[in-house]
């Protein structure tokens, strides 16, 4: 469809998925979705370039990791979608990459991108001798920036919406929601996730300035995003499925719980270590104090002996 007439929270808008068409071949359409995703990626890179020192990273090596992780994440996002979408079966490599479809590479999943980025990024960190936990920490914040911005691409395409809200003003309606769901306002799940990721960015950015250990931020990302996505996905009607279960809900719950467990275990170990170091410091200080007292006593005895000698001589 060339455009959508959308009503969201009482506001009437006309959205055009295609931003412009390049004069290549029969015309190469450039979609707002791709532009918005690219904007989110750019903002994430800008953040990383401004804050890499705080994460004890080398700028050139950090960018090497990004240059490898980004294309791999896109391929994994596409693969993830094709594997779990019942209507996403492909008949050729060209179709996988969107060649000749008229709509480009259509059909990707954010969890595939996250998995691909961390896998490729981790391998590149090993090769380029970059601390993997530092890289994952700054990358997690970058993901939240990209996801907060990128979800607005779903809005332009009128995707990622949910079930009916049952309200007369809260929600969204367009030709596409009516075609797929019927008349009525539906949950703008793209907006929920965008706001959740934006809030997560501020929370994790704050904690990143006081992180207790390397890897803490990426674990907090897993908890934050996993928890929010599991709830938001509950309302969505276009979820990828495994039997009767929503794939993203299962993945979100597993990631969230696993991250919480790891955070608790690591935090306890760190607390024990701090206490042990504190006790060692107390004992060391006591030994040092006792040593100083012995030195002072010896000095006093020597002074008394000298005084006695001087008294006898006089």
pLDDT tens-digit readout, 13-50: 999 999 998 887 777 788 899 899 999 999 999 999 99
The per-residue pLDDT for 178 is: 95
The stretch 64-73 carries a mean pLDDT of: 94
pLDDT at 53 over 70: yes
In a domain, 188, yes or no: yes
Helices (H), the chain: 32-51, 59-84, 93-96, 110-128, 132-157, 175-181, 189-208, 216-235, 247-313
The per-residue pLDDT for 25 is: 72
pLDDT at 313 over 50: no
The per-residue pLDDT for 282 is: 52
Please enumerate in sequence order all residues whose Cβ is within 8 A of that of 111, keeping only pairs 6 or more positions apart, or say none. Answer: 80, 247, 248, 251
The stretch 94-114 carries a mean pLDDT of: 68
In a domain, 255, yes or no: yes
In a domain, 249, yes or no: yes
Report the mean per-residue pLDDT for the chain: 85
Q: Which domain holds residue 191?
A: 4-273
Closest C-alpha to 5, from 178, 198, 188, 209: 178
Q: How many domains does the chain have?
A: 1
In a domain, 299, yes or no: no
CA distance 116 to 70: 8
In a domain, 308, yes or no: no
Residue 261 burial by Cβ neighbours in a 10 Å radius (0-12, 13-18, 19+): exposed
CA distance 12 to 314: 111
The stretch 200-213 carries a mean pLDDT of: 95
CA distance 140 to 217: 7
The per-residue pLDDT for 270 is: 81
The per-residue pLDDT for 28 is: 79
In a domain, 164, yes or no: yes
Selected residue with higher pLDDT from 270 and 112:
112
CA distance 275 to 198: 36
Compute φ and ψ for 243, nearest 5 degrees.
65, -120
**In the structure, what pLDDT confidence band is assigned to residue 64 with cuts at 50, 70 and 90?**
very high
For residue range 220-252, list pLDDT tens digits in order. 999 999 999 999 998 998 888 888 889 889 999
Please compute Rg for the chain using Cα positions: 29
In a domain, 61, yes or no: yes
The per-residue pLDDT for 204 is: 97
In a domain, 199, yes or no: yes
**In the structure, what pLDDT confidence band is assigned to residue 145 with cuts at 50, 70 and 90?**
very high
pTM across the whole model: 0.81
Instruction: Please report, for residues 2, 11, 250, the alpha-carbon distance to residue 8 in angstroms, rounded to integers and kept in the order given.
Output: 19, 5, 30
**Inter-residue contact 230 to 256 (CB < 8 Å):** yes
Closest C-alpha to 198, from 219, 228, 155: 228
């Amino acid at each position: 469809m060339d455009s959508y007439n959308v009503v969201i929270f009482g506001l009437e808008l006309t959205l055009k998925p295609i931003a412009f068409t390049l004069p290549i071949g029969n015309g190469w359409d450039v979609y707002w979705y791709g532009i918005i995703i690219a904007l989110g990626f750019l903002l994430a890179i800008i953040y990383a370039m401004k804050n890499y020192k705080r994460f004890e990273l080398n700028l050139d090596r950090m960018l090497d990791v990004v240059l490898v992780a980004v294309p791999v994440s896109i391929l994994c996002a596409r693969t993830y979608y094709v594997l779990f979408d019942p209507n996403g079966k492909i008949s050729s490599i060209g179709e996988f990459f969107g060649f000749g479809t008229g709509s480009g590479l259509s059909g990707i999943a954010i969890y595939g991108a996250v998995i691909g980025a961390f896998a490729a990024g981790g391998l590149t960190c090993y090769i380029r001798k970059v601390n993997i936990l530092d890289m994952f920490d700054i990358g997690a914040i970058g993901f939240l920036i990209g996801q907060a911005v990128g979800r607005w691409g779903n809005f332009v395409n009128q995707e990622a919406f949910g079930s009916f809200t049952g309200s007369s003003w809260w929600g969204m309606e367009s030709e596409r929601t009516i075609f797929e769901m019927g008349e009525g306002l539906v949950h703008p799940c793209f907006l929920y996730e965008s706001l959740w990721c934006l809030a997560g960015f501020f929370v994790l950015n704050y904690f990143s300035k006081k992180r207790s250990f390397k890897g803490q931020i990426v674990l907090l990302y897993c908890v934050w995003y996993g928890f929010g996505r599991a709830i938001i996905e509950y309302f969505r009607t276009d979820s990828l499925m495994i039997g009767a279960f929503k794939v993203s809900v299962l993945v979100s719950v597993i990631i969230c719980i696993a991250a919480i467990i790891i955070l608790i275990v690591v935090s306890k170990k760190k607390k024990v270590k701090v206490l042990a170091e504190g006790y060692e410091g107390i004992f060391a200080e006591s030994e040092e104090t006792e040593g100083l007292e012995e030195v002072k006593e010896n000095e006093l005895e020597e002074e008394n002996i000298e005084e006695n000698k001087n008294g006898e001589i006089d």
